Structure 1
Amino acid sequence: MSALVLTGARVSVDDVAAVARAARKVEIAPDVIGRLEKARKVLDQVAASGQQIYGLNTGLGANLGTSVEGDAGAFQRQLLEGRSGAVGEALPVETVRATMFARVAMLSVGGSGLSPAVFVALVNALNAGVHPVMPSLGSIGAGDLVLMTTLARLLIGEGEADYQGRRMPAAKALMMARLAPVTLAPKDGLSLINASSVSAGSGALAVTDALSALAQQQQAGALTMEGIGANRTILDPRLHMARPAAGQQEAAKVLHDLLARDEVPAPTTLQDPLSIRCMPSIHGGLIEAIGQARQAVEIELNAAADNPLVLSDDEMVLSTGNFHTAALSLAFETLGLAIAQCAAATAARFIQLTGSGRNGLPKYLSPVGGASAGFVPLQKTATSVLAAIRHKANPVMLDFLAVSEGVEDHAAQTPLAVAKCAGMIVLWRRLIAFELMAAAQAVDLRERLTLAPRTAAVHTAIRALVPALKEDRPLGIDAEALHAALAGGNWPPALAPADLVQKQV
C-alpha cells in the first residue's frame, strides 16, 4: 500500500480507516512544513508584541485571566499534567491511531502555530506504531483535550504507550522505536490537545463501519425478499421517482441489482408487510444519515479547529470556538436514530420469516414441524438486541453541566454520541446475521426457487459458515459465527455492493 501524502486538504474517512486499521504510512508534503513554519513565525511575533494569547501567556479555562510568566515552555508541560484527568477502559489501538491521524490531518491545514518539529514527531510516532494508552472517559465534546493529553505526553516521553502489542512507559516505547522525546515550545502543548480529534477519528471509523453494515443489510433484505416470495414490483424505479425521498432511489436500485435475473418470479402476494415493502425508504433514510455524518467528519478532518487560531496571511492570532463540535454530535445522533429504525425493520423481517408461516413457508422455518422450535427462540434474542439498540438511540448531546466556573457552560458530548453509534452498528450487525440465517433457511425450504446470481452468492456465503437447519440445534452458535464474519472483514467483499453504496453518500 502506497503512503498517504498529507497536503492539508482532502483527507477522507477512508484515509482514516486505512491508517488506523491497515497501518498505512503517512508522508508530509513540503507545503505542509512551510505552512507550519509560517504560522509558528506569526505566533512568535504576535506573542513578542505583548498580545494576550490564550494558552500561551494566559491560563486556561477558569484561569483565563491569569498571566503566565517565566518559562512558557515549562507551562506547556504544566498544562498537560494538570489536564491529564481521563479515566476508564483504554480505547482500542485502532481508535487511538484514528485519533492520531485525525490530529495530524487537522494540524496539516495550518493555523495551530505548532512547532514543525513536534508535528513531524507526531507523524513519526504514528508511522512507528507508538500509541498512547488513552482512557475513554473525560471528554464532553467541547474539544477532546482531557483525552488528548495522553497523546501530547507520549511525545514528551511521559505516560504509558502501546508498542508492538505491549503496554510500557512512553519513554521506553519511544526508545525502542528509535524516536526521541520532543521539547515543547510556547503553545505546543495546547496545539496538540485543543481539538476534537478523538471525535473525528472515531467518527470516521463509525462511518466506515456503517457503510459496510448497510451493504450487508441490503444483501440480507434482498435474500429475505427471495425467501419470503416478496412482491418485487416495489423496486420499480418509477415508484421511487414519484416520491424522491432522501436516498430512496439509490436504496431501491441496490436491492433491484441484487435481485436482477433474466426471469422474474411471480409474486406470492399483492402487498408485503411494511418492513419489506418499505425497505427502500427505510434504507434511503439511513443512506442520507450516513452521508451527513461523513460530511460532518470530513469537515473536521480538513479544518483548522484550533483555539486560538493563527491567521498567517493576516499575521493575527484570534480566539475561536472552532473546537466545538455541535454539528458533528448532531450528525451522529441522527445516524444512530437511522440505524435504530433500520434495525427495527430488520428484526421485524426476521419475525415475519420465523413466525407461524407466511407465503407457504413452514412454521418457525422448521423442516420437521411438530414440537420443533426451529428459529422461533431467536425472536427473543432479536428483540433483546433491538432493545439495546433503542436504548443507545436516546440522545446524549444535551447532557452537560457548566464547568470551569461557568466559562465552559455548553458542550456537545460528541465522543459519547459517536461511541454509542458505533456500539449500535455492532448490535445491528447481529440482527443482520439473524436475518441472513433466516432468509437462507427460507430459500432452502421454498421448492423450485432459482435465486438471482447475486443473492445466490450471498446464500452460498451463508452456507459456508452455517448449515441449513434440519433439526433443532443451538442457533446462537451459528449466529455468532456469521456475525464474526460480517464484523471481522471475512465476509466476501465481492458480495457487497460497496462501490455503489459509497456513491450514494
Structure 2
Amino acid sequence: MNKVIIDGNSLTIEDVVNVARNGYFVELSDEAKERVKKARNLVDKFVEDEKVEYGITTGFGKFADVVISKEDAKKLQRNLIVSHACAVGNEFDTEIVRAIMLLRANALAKGYSGVRLSTLQMLVDMLNRKVHPVIYEKGSLGASGDLAPLSHMVLVMIGEGEAYYNGERLSGKEALHKAGMEPIELVEKEGLALINGTQVMTAIGALAVYDAMNLLKASDIIAAMTVEALRGITDAYYHRVHEVRPQKGQLKCAKNLLKLLEGSSLTTRQGQLRVQDAYTLRCIPQIHGASKDALEYVKKVIEIEINSATDNPLIFEDEMKVVSGGNFHGQPVALAMDFLGIAMSEIANVSERRIERLVNYQLNDLPAFLTKNGGLNSGFMIAQYTAASLVSENKVLAHPASVDSIPSSANQEDHVSMGTIAARKARNIIYNVSRVLGIEYLAAAQAIDFRGNAKLGNGTEVAYKLIRKEVEHLDEDRIMYIDINKASKIVDSGLLVKEVEKAIGKLE
C-alpha cells in the first residue's frame, strides 16, 4: 500500500500531491502521537486549574478578554465552528480538500496545538476513508488563519455540514456513518486548533507549485519547438553568454534549450539566415529563467509552511507554557503566491508572442496562420485570439492580493494577508498558462510540418511525435477546441516532460 507517514516535520510537496491526487494512505508517526498526548495533557491541566488562557478558557478575537466557565468550554468550541463556517462561492476540488486535510493533520502532529490524539486520528481517518467535506472557496482573509473554509472541514467532524463519500454528496453525519465513523464532540482548545492556520492557502499553493514546476519545463520544450519552426539562432543560448550573467534560472533554461535542440537541422547559427532573432526567441533563457528563480523562492516558502505550526495559541509542553502569537498570519504565503502568479503569467505572455510569430506571415516565411488555403481556411487565426484572451485575463489576475488589507474583529485583527485569494488567483493563472502552452505546442508542430522531413532535435523530436500521436496535422479547418484540450492535457498532465526526460535526461 502506498502511504505517507506524517510527523509534522518532514512532509514534502510530492507527498501532498500523492495524498491529494493519488489517494495515498496517511499514518501518524509514533513520535507525533506522543507529542500530541503531552500537549493535550497540559491543556487538560490548565482547564482543571481554571487558568485563564486564550482560546482555552476565553472567547476569540475581540472576545479574548471574556472568560468562559468550565461548564461552557465545550459549547464554546462548537459555537466557534458553526459561527465561523461562513465560506461562500464554488466548492474546492477534491484534490484541494484532501490537501487541506493532510496539511491540517500534519500541523497538529507537531504537538503544539493541544488537540486530543483521537481528534487528530479522526481527521486522518476521514482522509483514508475518503470522507471529503464540502469546503467553499471564498471567505478567508488569510490571517487568524483560514478560519471560514477550515470551519467547513470541521463541521463534518462534529456531524454537521456536508461531505462527499464514494462520489455521493451527503450530510456530514451520514457521510461519517457510511464510512463507519461517528461524529465527535470537541473539547477545550480543539475547535480553535483545527481552524486557526494557513492550511487552505498552503494546500492550494503546494499543488500550484508542483504544477508550475512541470509547466516551466514544458515551456522550455515547447519554446524549443518554436525555435526550430522559426529557424532560430542557437548562439544566443551559448553557455558563456549566461555564465557572465549567472542568474541560476537563466543558466538552467539555456542548458535545457541546447539539450533539447541538439542534433536539429532546422536551427541556425548567427549570420546564417539573420544576425539576431526577436526577443521572444533570443531571450527565452532570460524570461523563462527569471520565472524559474521565482518558483524556487516560492517552493521554499511552501516547503517551510507545510511543516509549520500555524495556530494560536501554541502549547509549549516542555516549558508548561501557552503563548499567543501570530503564526496564523499568512503573509509569507500571500507574497509568495502573488509572486508565483506574476512569474507564471509571464510564461503565458511570452508564449503568446511566440504564437504570434508562428501565425503572422509578416514575421516569418510560413503560410499565413499556418494553413495552406488561407481565406477558405482560417487555420490558427482564432487559436491565437484565445491565447491572447488568456494572457490578458492573467494580467488582471496577477494584480497582487497581498497589498490589500481590511481590518476585522472590531480592529483587533487590523492587518490581514489575503493569502488565500493570492493562492486561488495563482491556481487560475496556472490553468490559463497550460492552455496557452497547449496552443503554442499545436502551432509549433504545425509549423514544423511545413519545414518538410527535417531532422529535429533530440528532445523536440520526442515532443513532436507525442503531439502527433494525439493530433494530426491541420490540413483543413476543423473544431479547434478539441485539439487545444488534447495538447493542453499532454502539457499539464506532466506527460510531455516525462517522455522528453525519458529520452534525453532530466531537464532543469
Shorter chain as denominator, the TM-score bin is over 0.9
**Which residue number corresponds to residue 103 of structure 1?**
104
* Identity across matched positions, percent: 34
Q: Is the 8 A contact 2:358 2:364 kept in 1?
A: no
Q: Is the 8 A contact 1:19 1:98 kept in 2?
A: yes
Please report how far the alpha carbon of residue 50 of structure 1 lies from its aligned counterpart in structure 2 after TM superposition: 4.2
* Runs (5+) with no aligned partner, structure 1: none
Please report how far the alpha carbon of residue 265 of structure 1 lies from its aligned counterpart in structure 2 after TM superposition: 4.8
> Residue type matched to 1:366 in 2?
T
> Residue type matched to 2:294 in 1?
A
Q: Matches of 1:494 and 1:374 in 2, distance apart?
A: 28
Q: 1:138-191 deviations in whole A, cap 9, x for unaligned?
A: 101011011111122211211111111111011111111111222322111111
Please report how far the alpha carbon of residue 486 of structure 1 lies from its aligned counterpart in structure 2 after TM superposition: 2.7
Change (3 A) 1:446 1:84: same
Change (3 A) 1:329 1:243: same
**Which residue number corresponds to residue 123 of structure 2?**
122
**Which residue number corresponds to residue 212 of structure 1?**
214
Tell me which of 428, 436, 442 is aligned to 2:441.
436
**Which residue number corresponds to residue 45 of structure 2?**
45
Superposed CA RMSD? 1.9
Q: Is the 8 A contact 1:230 1:269 kept in 2?
A: no
Deviates more, 1:148-157 or 1:376-385: 376-385
**Which residue number corresponds to residue 230 of structure 2?**
228
Q: Matches of 1:406 and 1:46 in 2, distance apart?
A: 29
Please report how far the alpha carbon of residue 367 of structure 1 lies from its aligned counterpart in structure 2 after TM superposition: 2.7
- The answer to whether the aligner puts 1:12 opposite 2:37 as a matched pair is no
- The answer to whether the aligner puts 1:22 opposite 2:22 as a matched pair is yes
Please report how far the alpha carbon of residue 285 of structure 1 lies from its aligned counterpart in structure 2 after TM superposition: 1.1
- The answer to whether the aligner puts 1:458 opposite 2:460 as a matched pair is no
**Which residue number corresponds to residue 145 of structure 1?**
147
Q: Is the 8 A contact 1:46 1:316 kept in 2?
A: no
Q: 1:327-368 deviations in whole A, cap 9, x for unaligned?
A: 111011111111111211100000001101545323322234
> Residue type matched to 2:302 in 1?
V
Deviates more, 1:472-481 or 1:84-93: 472-481
Q: 1:230-257 deviations in whole A, cap 9, x for unaligned?
A: 0011221111111012411111112222
TM-score, normalised to structure 2, is 0.94
> Residue type matched to 1:57 in 2?
T
**Which residue number corresponds to residue 162 of structure 2?**
160
Q: 1:259-304 deviations in whole A, cap 9, x for unaligned?
A: 1228785333321110111111111111112112211112111111
2:325 alignment partner, SS class? coil
Change (3 A) 1:475 1:161: closer
2:459 alignment partner, SS class? helix
Q: 1:30-58 deviations in whole A, cap 9, x for unaligned?
A: 10100001111122223444432111111
Aligned length: 502
Q: Is the 8 A contact 2:214 2:497 kept in 1?
A: no
Please report how far the alpha carbon of residue 492 of structure 1 lies from its aligned counterpart in structure 2 after TM superposition: 7.1
Q: Matches of 2:74 and 2:505 in 1, distance apart?
A: 49
Q: Matches of 1:392 and 1:36 in 2, distance apart?
A: 40
1:440 alignment partner, SS class? helix
Q: Is the 8 A contact 2:232 2:267 kept in 1?
A: no
**Which residue number corresponds to residue 385 of structure 1?**
390
Q: 1:427-457 deviations in whole A, cap 9, x for unaligned?
A: 1111101111111111111135210122111
Tell me which of 281, 285, 310 is aligned to 2:286.
281
- The answer to whether the aligner puts 1:481 opposite 2:486 as a matched pair is yes
Q: Matches of 1:369 and 1:38 in 2, distance apart?
A: 74
Q: Is the 8 A contact 1:216 1:496 kept in 2?
A: no
Change (3 A) 1:370 1:202: closer
**Which residue number corresponds to residue 178 of structure 1?**
180
Tell me which of 302, 305, 308 is aligned to 1:303.
308
- The answer to whether the aligner puts 1:190 opposite 2:195 as a matched pair is no
Q: Matches of 1:162 and 1:223 in 2, distance apart?
A: 43
> Residue type matched to 2:123 in 1?
L
1:64 alignment partner, SS class? helix
Q: Is the 8 A contact 1:215 1:496 kept in 2?
A: no
Change (3 A) 1:293 1:146: same
TM-score, normalised to structure 1, is 0.95
> Residue type matched to 2:187 in 1?
A
Deviates more, 1:262-271 or 1:294-303: 262-271
Q: Is the 8 A contact 2:162 2:170 kept in 1?
A: yes
1:377 alignment partner, SS class? helix
Q: Matches of 2:304 and 2:245 in 1, distance apart?
A: 30
Q: Matches of 2:378 and 2:89 in 1, distance apart?
A: 42
Q: 1:101-125 deviations in whole A, cap 9, x for unaligned?
A: 0101111112001111101111111
Q: Matches of 2:176 and 2:47 in 1, distance apart?
A: 32
Q: 1:402-448 deviations in whole A, cap 9, x for unaligned?
A: 11110111111111101111101111111101111111111111135
Q: Matches of 2:359 and 2:266 in 1, distance apart?
A: 25
Q: Matches of 2:251 and 2:500 in 1, distance apart?
A: 21
Please report how far the alpha carbon of residue 73 of structure 1 lies from its aligned counterpart in structure 2 after TM superposition: 1.6
**Which residue number corresponds to residue 134 of structure 1?**
135
> Residue type matched to 1:352 in 2?
R
Q: Is the 8 A contact 1:219 1:496 kept in 2?
A: no
Q: 1:162-221 deviations in whole A, cap 9, x for unaligned?
A: 111111011111111111222322111111111111111111111111112112211110
> Residue type matched to 1:325 in 2?
G
